[in-house]
Amino acid sequence: MTTFRECSCVVAGCVAAASVVAQQPSPTRYDEQVVVSVTPRGIADIAFMESISGDRWTCGPGGPAGEADYRIGTGQVRELQNRGIPFRIFIDDVQALIDRERADMNDPFRPRGLWDSFPTYAATSAYVDSLVATYPEMVTRISLGTSLQGREIFGFRMTSPVPPIGNAARKPVVVIQSLQHAREWIGLTSALYTATQLLANYQTDPAVRQALDTYEMVFIPIVNPDGYEITWTSDRYWRKNAHTITPPPRIVGVDLNRNWSVGWGLNSGSSNSYSSETYRGTAAFSEPETKAVRNYLQSIPKLAAFIDVHTYAGLILRPWAYQWQTPPGYPGLTRVGQAMSAKVKAGTNVTYAVGGPEILYLASGVAPDWAYGTTGAVSFTIEMHNDYGGFSPGPETIAPSGYECQLAITGLLQNLCRADFNLDNVVDDADFTSFVGAYNALLSNAGDLTGDGMTDDSDFSLFVNAYDRRTCP
């Protein structure tokens, strides 16, 4: 396998210097702030933590004892002690952590490969251009639209030179996006790592070759470019976009991962308060960033899978996030999620839990719920795991986290079953009935296995082969 450093030397050298230059110290300071890992004893403890913090760092109880991380003031630690809430100090000085991160990025003697530090928005854009230049037959840059402040929301399409089956213009598409939440830097580098490894190993790894011969992959590395810029210039732990209200003009931000229409507006998984980290906006798709990604996803003839990369909890989350009820296709989603987790475990010995809100919490208006509920694509959130530093894990974690993401995505690609329409883990008579209905309608993409947006004779040949073998094409 091509190593991470080898990839960075081949592709990333031209943009490395731009990726680490911090323009100025963050004006928003986090003095006398700590992060505590709390083991709630019940709803009352959770409600109390939300009332004194308002900034939960983990996206759910990801620890072995059901821990959840909260940022609080040092003076509030005694309140936890007085109430008898079980906790431990995870980060004892948040501002010191930021200061160390900035000093490391500005160290003139530090190695400057892209994989040695976190890339800025400009460096990420340049890196995408370098991928196009290095793999011109496999990578194409795309533009999805612009952010609230006018920054391009860019991405890249990636597939092998092997043409789609039949008359399809595109192969079935797998979309991987990151940085809906601006402060989750390791999600960005993990997605870029995954793309780089797949490209670098196409010629030598049969599994990668099979995946890229079968699917087109689309990476959207920075969904929230304005928020990401804020984390570099004025507030390292900014989460939302740059939504502004008046008077007077001030940025309050919208949580983009509460701004999608499926499940939008529920107070059980989002907030209608400007001050909340989970403020959902004034309406579903009120923000240009979510509109741009939605419009692009709707333009894809056949979306096979959708992955939203976040950090940090060590979780692989299936729909639904907005309600406790399991979705149609729950067995198939669980099988694929468990295959992703097993792939990571086999390669790294790191455990990713698989489930829904029962291992996290309710979250309404999230992107994977929209993708699954609207397009039927197999959809997951990957919460990258992290043992140190919270949202400032240090550049030494870039490669290990990237490898975990790569393994999870490989597990996804190897276990998608496009002919299993009802996601019950077998290609059987129920799928045959679904396929025949789509085939008779012809223009429907419900039975589309080739990616051309309709169910036709090319799909018929693939489906019959899968049905005869009770397996997937």
DSSP summary character for residue 88: E
Decide if 178 contacts 187 (C-beta within 8 A).
yes
Q: Are 190 and 404 a contacting pair, CB within 8 Å?
A: yes
328 cis-preceded (ω within 30 degrees of 0): no
- Nearest-angstrom CA–CA distance, 236 and 227: 10
Residue showing tokens 């923000």: 287
Tokens of 307: 């992955």
Give the pair of three-digit tokens for residue 94: 């948040």
- Residue located via tokens 């795309």: 142
Q: Work out the angle at residue 78's Cα, subtended by the Cα atoms of residues 74 and 79, and round it to the nearest 5 degrees.
A: 105
- Residue type for 26, please? S
Helix axes 398-415, 330-348, angle to 10 degrees: 140
What is the C-alpha to C-alpha distance for residues 303 and 453, in angstroms, rounded to an integer? 10
Token pair 């490969």: residue = 113
Residues ≥6 apart with Cβ < 8 Å to 173: 215, 216, 217, 218, 300, 301, 302, 303, 304, 451
Cα–Cα distance for residue pair 453/169, rounded to 1 Å: 9
In terms of Cα–Cα distance, which of 419, 473, 416, 450 is closest to 167? 450
- Contact assessment for residue 18 and residue 120, using Cβ atoms and an 8 Å cutoff: yes
Active site residue 383: yes
Q: What backbone phi and psi angles, to 5 degrees, belong to 408?
A: -60, -45
Q: End-to-end alpha-carbon separation of the chain, Å? A: 26
Catalytic residue among 184, 383, 396, 404: 383
Query: What residues have CB less than 8 Å from 140, skipping those under 6 apart?
Result: 132, 156, 157, 158
- The 3-state secondary structure of 9-62, one letter per residue: HHHHHHHCHHHCCCCCCCCCCCCCEEEEEECCCCHHHHHHHHHHCCCECCCCCC
Among the listed residues 126, 180, 132, the one whose alpha carbon sits nearest the alpha carbon of residue 156? 132
Active-site residue list: 383
